[in-house]
A and B are shown apart, each in its own frame.
Chain A
């Protein structure tokens, strides 16, 4: 087995907010009927977390569970646990119509940290990032310039997830947006 490396190997940029590639994180895509009791029970059993409400994301320690669409969940686990978690989910969901896949290596994760992290993202996406509208606990799937992405508030910063194939593009976007001199000071 070859050694896994993240898309940009931890590239970072110090602008008026800090932008960095966050390295490897286990991500599992789970599709199925999220309202079904069996699915709820299986997810709870494997992750210890209840399925979040519409557009919400919940955490417990290193694990997380995000609502992606009415039939899709994003399961966050440490990178090395992804394979075992997929197997555990498949066992727990045996006989239930569902799909689970380890998508960790298909994604790139970024961290945007600093007082004005919100505005760095607001420049790139059509999302209302006003502190009263976009709050901690919400997972927003949207676009960053030309590519799909998702982000949420975590540990005092914003975590951004995008496809690995566009990792460099997303990093460059965030970098340009965080360039000193580009402060908006709106919020």
Chain B
């Protein structure tokens, strides 16, 4: 069972209160971009074994989208943060780096 703390309402929300939104920090390739870039944006997702950044929505709560960093193997949650950002907070990345020395960082 996954417990993610919603950064908006502060509730340690249980998985069944949340809706998963897939990979976080996608860069959009719209009209004018190449076919390959567009295909990548639309369909190709990382399938990470280890540290992963995800979008979640507190669907059965305050209704807000937020982002979370967790480990897909151990289900350890490193932290959650508001969705109004294009990259993970530096403090969070540093904290994950400490816990997972071999980790190559986001992206």
Contact = CB atoms under 8 A, between A and B. Distances in A.
Contacts of B14: 126
Nearest to B3: A126
Given A70-B62, A70-B64, A148-B60, A142 B8 contact: no
Contacts, number: 34
B85 to A, nearest CB: 16
Nearest to B13: A126
Interface in A28-78: 54-55, 68-70, 72
A141 B64 contact: no
Main secondary structure, interface of B, reads loop
Contacts of B9: 54-55, 69-70, 141
B62 A141 contact: yes
B40 interface: no
B16 to A, nearest CB: 6
Interface in B52-98: 59-64
B17 A69 contact: no
B64 A69 contact: yes
Interface string A62-101: 0000001110100000000000000000000000000000
9 contacts: A54-B10, A55-B10, A70-B8, A140-B11, A141-B62, A142-B11, A143-B16, A143-B60, A148-B60
Closest A-B pairs by Cβ, 10 of them: A69-B62, A126-B14, A143-B60, A141-B61, A148-B60, A70-B8, A126-B16, A126-B17, A54-B10, A55-B9
Interface of B: 8-11, 13-14, 16-17, 59-64
Interface of A: 54-55, 68-70, 72, 126, 140-143, 148
